[in-house]
Amino acid sequence: MPAVDAPVFRLTTLVAPVLGASCHVLSAAGTGPCVVVDAGGGVAPALLAHLAENGLEPVAVLATHGHLDHVWDGPLVAGDLGIPFVLHAADAHRLTDPFGTLDPWGPRGPLVQAVAQQGVRTDETRVPEHVVTFDGACTLLVGPGGLLGDDVLGPGVTVEAVHAPGHTEGSTLYVVNGVPDDASALPRPGRPGGTLTSTVLTGDVLFAGSVGRTDLPGGDGAAMARTLRDVVGTLPADALVLPGHGPATTVGHETATNPYLARR
């Protein structure tokens, strides 16, 4: 359950058909302004239907990193709604070369062929019309003076973008100072037990029981080690973790059981 003094927001997670990437929708109470994180391949129809049915009005589509399984439908959604597509500047180049920056063998490589078998056309490139980038170690996106404005997710709820390189050069954690309310739909297996005080959308940096691979273009094992030690390792134990694939977890649980964190 959330801490008594933690701000709350509404969360819905949709799973994209391509490689099962999680698409998160954050709002104040399930309607009105919202933020979309990681509109991956094939999620646009379900996402746009969810937004319309609930009167949700995204202010931006955010990406935790630039791999196509997390951004492929982002340009469609952002373009359809006339909103910006937002990601770290170090990953912006991936938007214009989605296949070469995913697989070292390009369109003929095994990873690209895998996503092609799940419906991604390798003869097209989707580039957002309006790209907004941020840089540096930490950027306030939602909150007083934030890049996307204040009170987007309700009074007192802030979102910070924290640079977490390793899986890619521009991999980012989105840190929310609140927790999902009781009406939220979390990734399986549902809300982890215990008191929660904040939420971290980790993309492909941290998963339940594992971490992101570093053997793809732009991956860096040494950078990932630093991220796990200096960024993930400083997050509060009672923070809810919403990974880019798979179930929710907590920082405390991963610190205690994840072999990639235990060795830090």
Q: pLDDT tens digit string along 28-57?
A: 999 999 999 999 999 999 999 999 999 999
Q: Which residues contact 109 (CB under 8 A, 6 or more apart)?
A: 99, 102, 103
Query: Is 227 domain-assigned?
Result: yes
pTM summary value: 0.95
Half-sphere exposure of 179 (CA within 13 A, CB side): 23
Identify the H or E element spanning 226. Answer: helix 221-230
Contact predicate 248/186, CB 8 Å: yes
Strands (DSSP E) found in the chain: 8-15, 22-27, 32-37, 56-62, 85-88, 131-134, 138-142, 159-163, 172-176, 179-180, 198-203, 206-207, 210-211, 239-243, 249-250
- pLDDT tens sequence across 63-102: 999 999 999 999 999 999 999 999 999 999 999 999 889 9
| 215: number of Cβ within 10 Å | 7
Residue that is written with structure tokens 């990873």 in the block:
111
Residue 189 maps to which CATH number?
3.60.15.10
Residues pairing with 8 in the sheet: 179
Rounded Cα distance between 72 and 241, Å, is: 23
Rounded Cα distance between 249 and 233, Å, is: 15
Instruction: Give buried/exposed letters for 164-181 (b at 16+ CB in 10 A, else e).
Output: bbbbbbbbbbbbbbbbbb
First to last CA, the chain: 29
Structure tokens given for 155: 């009074």
Q: Return the SS3 of 156.
A: coil
Domain count, the chain: 1
Query: Is 103 domain-assigned?
Result: yes
Query: Is 1 domain-assigned?
Result: no
Instruction: Give buried/exposed letters for 80-90 (b at 16+ CB in 10 A, else e).
Output: ebebbbbbbeb
Does the N-terminal peptide bond of residue 104 adopt cis geometry, omega within 30 degrees of 0?
Answer: no
Q: Which residues contact 223 (CB under 8 A, 6 or more apart)?
A: 165, 166, 214
Query: Is 110 domain-assigned?
Result: yes
Query: Is 3 domain-assigned?
Result: no
Query: Is 98 domain-assigned?
Result: yes
Domain range spanning residue 202?
Answer: 8-262
Q: Read off the amino acid at residue 98.
A: P
Query: Is 140 domain-assigned?
Result: yes
Helix/strand/coil percentages in the chain, nearest 5: 25, 30, 50
How many angstroms from the chain centroid is the CA of residue 159?
A: 12
Per the prediction, the chain carries an average pLDDT of 93
Identify the H or E element spanning 257. Answer: helix 251-257
Query: Is 2 domain-assigned?
Result: no
Walk along the chain (264 residues) and give the pLDDT tens digit of each residue: 444 478 999 999 999 999 999 999 999 999 999 999 999 999 999 999 999 999 999 999 999 999 999 999 999 999 999 999 999 999 999 999 998 899 888 778 998 898 889 888 888 888 999 999 999 999 999 999 999 999 999 999 999 999 999 999 999 999 999 999 989 988 765 456 678 999 999 999 999 999 999 999 999 999 999 999 999 999 999 999 999 999 999 999 999 999 999 755
